[in-house]
Amino acid sequence: MNFAQYEPHHLNPKFPIVFHYDKLEAGQFVAPHWHENWEILCFVRGSITAHLNTQEISAQTGETIIVPSNALHQLTSSQEGVEYYCLIFDRSFCAKYGFDTEEIFFRTKIKDSILLSKVEHIISEFRLKSDFYQAEILANVISILVHLARNYTVPSPLPLSKAHSIKLDIVKRAFSYVDAHYSEPLSIDDLAKCTGFSKYYFCHVFKDVTRMPPSAYINFIRCRHARELLSSEKYSVSEAALRCGFENLSYFSKIYKKYIGELPSKTAK
């Protein structure tokens, strides 16, 4: 199962973008997360359902979803699975060229052959890595921003209701707490306390917004960090489990297999 929490908030100032290919099998999903930067998702096979704050969007092959700054978003693949490219622009890089992520808003779903050709050019540059390829990629990113701004800007969206804004704030505070304490003993009571609400209300809000219970999210994040440790080949399975908050090795293996799709011993190879 594929998942994420936050994308980088501060990218390399010399190369301020993230670009990667992702593949989700049938029913797999990317867990809810948010970041200050714009994100472009170009789908090259299959279909997906995305949730951006309160908005639900479906996209398929050839379509693109543009994730606004600070939007809580998650992806769920269809039964046929999905493949896509993810491009994230650093907020300060955008502002340097006049693109303010808090003042410019794009349509959330488009189908545009020109945009796809620009993304394909970035793919080619990453593969070939010719001289000055990073400069060429950044020039193409600016070209993408200009193309979007000239053709797909929309008026400022209506603000979220006060009730939903409060719910999003509760969830984001819980995310931050999990990120800071995932390696420690962590309970639902701890998360509720950090948000300042009762356990019952917190659990209700968290599941309503993220479509998963808090305990599942904690395990997602712990398994993600464990996967990073195991992939580095510097930690054994038991070491990775302990460092990520799992005290029982058999339980760790069971949860890791459920969320990552393979046993931790396979990742460690």
Predicted confidence at residue 6, as pLDDT, reads 40
pLDDT for the residue 10: 55
Residue 189: pLDDT above 50? Answer: yes
Percent of the chain with pLDDT over 90: 81
Strands 73-89 and 153-154: unpaired
Exposed e or buried b for every residue in 152-171, given b needs 16+ CB within 10 A? beeeeeeeeeeeeeebbebb
Q: Specify the pLDDT at position 260.
A: 83
Question: To 10 degrees, what angle do helices 249-260 and 214-231 make?
Answer: 90
pLDDT tens profile 5-61: 344 445 788 899 999 999 988 878 888 988 899 999 999 999 999 999 989 999 999
For residue range 72-123, list pLDDT tens digits in order.
999 999 888 999 999 999 999 999 999 999 999 999 999 999 999 999 999 9
What is the mean pLDDT of the segment spanning 139-155?
A: 97
Closest to 71 measured CA to CA, from 100, 32, 31 = 32
Q: Is the dihedral of CA 267, 248, 208, 191 positive or negative?
A: negative
Can you give the pLDDT at residue 268?
87
Q: Is-contact 31 211, C-beta < 8 A?
A: no
